């Protein structure tokens, strides 16, 4: 590792597994002091270290978020990873599922950034990275109405924050992965495997959808995230990075 984040304080949500876990671990390896939050304390305990402080946090809890930000030193970087995938078209997406998708995928970012950005500005600025998706936010996919709509909203939020604070030292970018090997994706393979015949058949189905014929890794996403967090990405803001194995070609 290069020490690209040495001396920086980074907040990572949904850090107990998947992309959030990979970002937290790599940020710490790059020298950052990481605050890793999730509702899964058992998962967080597995990554706790001298450079990673873990804390239980529901990212839809505005009071808890405000308490965390107010009792922490200003963050130099924030990575909003927490999210929820709803499957279905507008014909089988009920209002509760629609609301849950936006609450977890979009509102959580709004809650965090509105209280964290003022402290970041007072501290000289910082870098925000929001995890979106190539699904519908960049390209239409079937049966992803609520998920795709909420992920598209993240791109609007990202550009708005980037524009509003560009002269105050705040950078805000989004990373848009395609299918990535995470515990939640493996669970989807288990469920799909029940109708396709096996877990392996379901996995191969996802792999064959990718132009590279393989699934991405959480570490491949975290590499881009940490570049944007670091000073190497200092001239980049308001941009969307597809980490998609060629899906958008």
* Candidates 147, 199, 205, 241; catalytic one: 147
Q: By the 8 A CB rule, do 30 and 8 touch?
A: no
Q: By the 8 A CB rule, do 149 and 101 touch?
A: yes
Distance CA 53, CA 7 (A): 15
Q: Is 199 a catalytic residue?
A: no
- Over the range 58-72, which residues count as b (16 or more CB within 10 Å of their CB) and which as e? ebeebebbeebbeee
Q: Which residues are catalytic?
A: 147
């Amino acid at each position: 590792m290069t020490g690209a984040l040495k001396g920086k304080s980074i907040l990572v949500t949904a850090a107990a597994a998947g992309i959030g876990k990979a970002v937290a671990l790599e940020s710490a390896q790059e020298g950052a002091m990481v605050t890793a939050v999730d509702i899964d304390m058992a998962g967080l305990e597995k990554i706790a270290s001298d450079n990673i402080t873990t804390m239980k946090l529901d990212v839809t809890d505005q009071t808890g978020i405000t308490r965390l930000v107010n009792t922490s030193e200003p963050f130099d970087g924030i990575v909003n990873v927490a999210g929820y995938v709803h499957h279905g078209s507008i014909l089988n997406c009920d209002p509760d599922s629609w609301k849950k998708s936006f609450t977890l995928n979009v509102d959580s970012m709004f809650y965090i950034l509105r209280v964290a950005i003022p402290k970041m500005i007072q501290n000289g600025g910082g870098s925000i990275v929001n995890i979106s998706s190539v699904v519908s936010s960049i390209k239409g996919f079937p049966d992803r109405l609520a998920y795709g709509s909420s992920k598209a909203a993240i791109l609007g939020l990202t550009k708005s924050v980037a524009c509003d604070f560009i002269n105050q030292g705040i950078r805000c970018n989004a990373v848009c992965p395609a299918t990535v090997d995470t515990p939640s994706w493996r669970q989807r393979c288990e469920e799909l495997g029940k109708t396709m015949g096996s877990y392996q058949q379901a996995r191969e189905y996802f792999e064959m959808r990718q132009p590279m014929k393989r699934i991405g890794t959480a570490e491949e996403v975290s590499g881009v995230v940490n570049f944007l967090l670091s000073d190497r990405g200092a001239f980049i803001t308001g941009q969307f990075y597809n980490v998609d194995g060629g899906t958008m070609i």
